[in-house]
Structure 1
Amino acid sequence: MTDISFIAVDWGTTNRRAYAIDANGAVLRTERDGDGILAVPAGGFPDAAAAIRGRFDSDAPMLLAGMVGSNRGWVDAGYVPCTATLDAVAAATVVAGDGIRIVPGVSRSADGRGDVMRGEEVQLFGAVAAGLAPGDALLCQPGTHCKWAWMAAGAIADFTTAMTGELFSLLKAHSLIGADMAAGDVADGDAFRAGVEDARTRDLPAALFGVRASGILGLHAREDAASYVSGLLIGSDCHARLRGDARDVYLLADPVLGALYATAIDIAGGRAHLIDSHAAFVAGITRIHARIRQDPI
């Protein structure tokens, strides 16, 4: 493929998305597959990168982000501490191969609490750079490990990671209430909203056991259990972050999960705005690439 300025890859643990991007920052083509870092054999990253270039029929430079830069990936790209700017992250990119760089993650360590992100920082910078969110804003990236980031003048000033999605999966697969949760799908209905409301005032461990008791006693339909538990967990996440503050939250999420978080944020007193996470990634990675080109490291 001609006219490719560079190839950007959002390379996670289990999935991978590659973008062929032209000199104007437009996406020429996208490839997505399940070849996350866990699918790459030891020593196999150079060949995996070459295969991506082969798909696009291009030897253009590559800029990789995500878990490919972790200690389980190709090269450990380290972390830029908060407050982290786009320029600081671009300056800390690490060479992994011929014309290939990896974006570092971002860390925070203060008040006795540490936290890290890897890959999400590109979306955060891009959301602001593309005008999808203000430079001073609270952004939320729902998922297995939900990120909440406080942006200041376009930089990542602070952030918190919540294991919301992972807890839901663990409860469904391995807990006493798992069988009840398997009886129905999560939906934004009365049961989900009740869970969000209960997360404001109830003891979370006790409320979770109550799912089992309610099923036995016939107080609630088993088909509603998954929605209620999802509401409890997402509600706990949102209440903890907003604490009654009626503020805007910019959601980088797929429509389904984004809709659930939007409902929970509304109940928690905030105002949710769903924005395109893929557009944010492209905007962020394009600007990091431009900074590297302007100031080669």
Structure 2
Amino acid sequence: MSSFIAVDWGTTNRRAWRIEDGRPADVMRDATGILSVPPGGYADAATAIRARLGDGPLLMAGMVGSNRGWADAGYVPCPASLAALAARLLPVAEDAWIVPGVSIVEGQRGDVMRGEEVQFLGAVAGGLAPADALMCQPGTHCKWARVEGGALTRFSTAMTGELFALLRDHSLIGAAMRGPVADGAAFRDGIARSGEGDLTTALFGVRASSVLALRDDADAAAYVSGLLIGADCRVRVRAGDSVHLLADPALGALYTAAIEALGARAILVDSHAAFLAGIIRIWELQA
């Protein structure tokens, strides 16, 4: 069939597109992530998507394929290609399939992703990134991926966004972290301080700076963000690198600042366009 419904189904949000002849013809967005679907409720949730976008086959990716979603779609091990993902689609209902995630095991280190693999590989398939690239999708759990020859060969996950939220909401320094986060002097100071290699001491320094009036509390959140993002980037980025960022403009600007401070280049990629390019190619490969 030339027409189908592509669904990017995450933990808290969901996007779905009606695809006709390889192009998006209609779209819906809502907050019906997997946490909002009651046990046994996925068939009804799929019916609601079809009621909005038309009665067509569903091809889904993301946390809908986790052990907390509709069904566990498993993982394709690295190196993973779009063809490998297409070969392992999990049928969950009539005319409804879920794309598997991707896993990596290196010695005692293991890692997994769900949904980001479609975007990383889709960026290449859609001509948004080269076949050999370092990619990053910032967020609660920041994904860093290496694509070689159009296949996802290595990746790692950093809990950067979650750590920031935990520090702000549940730590000693959280009381000072009530100001906005933006690229500015405090954020850049955090990036620079992250290069000293003592992150935990730098974090406690937020408390000391507040007590001793060394830094305005209004700048604390931006400074901590700079510390965390700076530390995240330093592990993976070297001077002269090009990093393709699949991020919204606000978070993309922060990571761009950190990447450029390390002497590298950041290239922003539309993550929705990347997802569409990837899911459409998977559909074509399995047809």
Deviation, 1:268, is 1.8
Deviations 1:141-175 (A, max 9, x none): 00000000000011000001000000000000000
Pick from 103, 114, 117: which aligns with 1:118?
114
* Residue 228 (structure 2) aligns with: 233
Structure 1 unmatched ranges of 5 or more:
none
Alignment counterpart, residue 283 of structure 2, candidates 280, 285, 289:
289
Alignment partner, residue 221 of structure 1: 216
Aligned length in residues: 287
- CA distance in structure 1 between the aligned counterparts of 2:193 and 2:27, rounded to whole angstroms: 42
Structure 1 residue 42 corresponds to structure 2 residue 39:
yes
Q: Is 1:209 the equivalent of 2:204?
A: yes
Distance 1:82 1:142, change over 3 A: same
**1:256 match:** 250
Question: Which position in structure 2 is the counterpart of 1:22?
Answer: 20
Residue type matched to 2:235 in 1? A
Counterpart pick for 1:187 among 182, 187, 194: 182
Task: Name the CA distance, whole Å, in 1 between partners of 2:56 and 2:177.
Answer: 47
User: Match of 1:32?
Assistant: 29
SS at match of 1:148: strand
> What is the RMSD of the two structures over their aligned residues, measured on CA atoms?
1.0
What's the offset of the Cα at 1:246?
Answer: 1.8
Q: 2:67 aligns with which of 68, 71, 85?
A: 71
Q: Distance in 2 between the 1:38 and 1:128 partners?
A: 31
| CA deviation profile, 1:190-223 (whole Å, cap 9, x unmatched) | 0001101111114100000000100110111100
- Post-superposition Cα deviations, 1:108-151, rounded to whole Å, max 9, x if no partner, equal 00132100000000001110011111000000000000000000
1:269, CA displacement in angstroms? Answer: 2.1
What stretches of structure 1 move > 6 A for 4+ residues in a row?
none
Of the three residues 4, 8, 11, the one matched with 1:6 is 4
What runs of 5+ residues in structure 2 fail to find an aligned partner? none
TM-score normalised by length of structure 1:
0.95
State the identity %. 62
